[in-house]
């Protein structure tokens, strides 16, 4: 009877070691991709790796919960021999991670309880959880479940629907004032709404007018086509050295003639 139990335990251990080796290989492959292929790594590929790891962990859980699998908690590992010398067989089994089975590493590798720091954190969390009443805890659970449900719903929606919603929001949102745009185009292109001087528009942006900015002669042209200083009357002959008075009729733009009235 005892020999049968030992054989059954060995078979269960071999099956568990095989499944753990599969998880280890999948982790090594995933970490290698993250470190060396991150530039061309796509999100579907990452999800596939997560799905593979999740399936392998579920397989291990099913193996441990199987009725035919013995309870490993009832099995104890006792170090029969501690040595400071290198053990090649142990190094080969542990992939060179544990070359020596000494008294320094035995408490870490054969530990059945968490580290003291982890135990202290668990105690603090347990005390904090005990302070919360059942009603408050139930409300927090409901809130968390609601947030998770909303998140899962958003993640489950097709990507096309999300893109369509984003495009619709961008189209419906107005980024400018049509009235101001029309007034600005009319003022620049046709001089609409600008002040006038002798039936001629004073350009507000000469650099935007066709043909380049006007010259000084064009600005100083009078109504009769004669040239004078700043649009004034021409200088009279026979009076050298005498400057006539400058007369302008440029009116200041009132508030009603402002080109950007709204």
3-state helix, strand, coil in the chain (%, to 5): 55, 0, 40
71 and 25 share one domain: yes
Domain stop point among 114, 137, 167: 114
Start-to-end CA distance of the chain, whole Å, equals 98
Q: Is the pLDDT assigned to residue 82 strictly greater than 80?
A: yes
5 and 50 share one domain: yes
Domain stop point among 114, 140, 161: 114
Q: What percent of the chain has pLDDT over 70?
A: 68
Tell me 133's DSSP state: -
Dihedral sign of CA atoms 179, 181, 184, 189 in order: negative
81 and 69 share one domain: no
pLDDT for 182:
87
Q: What is the mean pLDDT of residues 240-251?
A: 51
Q: Is the pLDDT assigned to residue 244 strictly greater than 80?
A: no
pLDDT for 217:
46
Task: Quote the tokens at residue 162.
Answer: 């999300």
The residue ranking higher by pLDDT, 74 or 58, is 58
Name the 3-class secondary structure at 98.
coil
Tell me 197's DSSP state: E
Structural domain span for residue 92: 77-114
From the CB of residue 231, how many other CB atoms can be counted at a distance below 10 Å? 20
CA dist list (Å): 260 to 158, 203, 251: 46, 15, 18
Structural domain contains residue 26: yes
Q: Please check whether residue 209 is in contact with residue 192, taking contact to mean a CB–CB distance below 8 angstroms.
A: no
29 and 87 share one domain: no
Tell me 8's DSSP state: H
pLDDT for 159:
66
CA dist list (Å): 189 to 77, 88, 119: 91, 89, 78
Q: Is the pLDDT assigned to residue 224 strictly greater than 70?
A: no
pLDDT for 121:
92
CATH number for position 2: 1.20.58
35 and 65 share one domain: yes
Q: Please check whether residue 74 is in contact with residue 5, taking contact to mean a CB–CB distance below 8 angstroms.
A: no
Residue with tokens 């005990």: 130
pLDDT for 52:
93
Q: If residue 200 lies in a helix (H) or strand (E), which one and from where to where?
A: strand 200-201
pLDDT for 209:
47
1 and 43 share one domain: yes
**Length of the chain as a residue count:** 262
Strand partners, 197: 200
68 and 12 share one domain: yes
Q: What is the mean pLDDT of the chain?
A: 76
Structural domain contains residue 47: yes
- Rg for the chain (alpha carbons), in Å? 44
Residue with tokens 């006792």: 78
What is the number of domains present in the chain?
3
How does pLDDT run across 142-177, given as a tens digit for each residue? 999 999 998 888 777 766 676 777 777 666 666 678
pLDDT for 144:
93
69 and 11 share one domain: yes
Name the 3-class secondary structure at 196.
strand
Q: Are strands 200-201 and 196-197 parallel, antiparallel or unpaired?
A: antiparallel
Closest CA to 58 of 10, 26, 94, 90: 26
């Amino acid at each position: 009877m005892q020999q049968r139990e030992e054989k059954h335990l060995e078979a269960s251990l071999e099956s568990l070691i095989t499944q753990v080796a599969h998880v280890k290989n999948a982790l090594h492959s995933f970490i290698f991709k993250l470190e060396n292929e991150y530039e061309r790594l796509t999100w579907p590929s990452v999800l596939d790796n997560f799905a593979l790891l999740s399936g392998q962990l579920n397989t291990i859980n099913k193996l441990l919960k199987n009725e035919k699998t013995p309870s490993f908690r009832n099995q104890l590992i006792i170090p029969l021999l501690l040595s400071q010398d290198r053990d090649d067989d142990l190094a080969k089994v542990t992939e060179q991670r544990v070359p020596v089975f000494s008294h320094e590493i035995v408490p870490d590798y054969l530990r059945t309880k968490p580290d003291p720091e982890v135990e202290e954190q668990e105690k603090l969390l347990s005390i904090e959880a005990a302070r919360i009443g059942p009603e408050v805890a139930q409300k927090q659970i409901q809130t968390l479940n609601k947030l998770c449900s909303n998140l899962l719903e958003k993640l489950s929606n097709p990507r096309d629907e999300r893109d369509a919603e984003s495009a619709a929001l961008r189209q419906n949102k107005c980024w400018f004032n049509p009235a101001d745009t029309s007034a600005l185009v009319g003022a620049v292109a046709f001089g609409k709404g600008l002040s006038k001087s002798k039936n001629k528009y004073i350009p507000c942006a000469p650099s935007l007018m066709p043909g380049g900015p006007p010259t000084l002669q064009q600005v100083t042209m009078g109504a009769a086509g004669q040239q004078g200083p700043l649009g004034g009357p021409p200088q009279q002959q026979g009076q050298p050295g005498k400057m006539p008075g400058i007369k302008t009729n440029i009116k200041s733009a009132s508030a009603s003639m402002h080109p950007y009235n709204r």
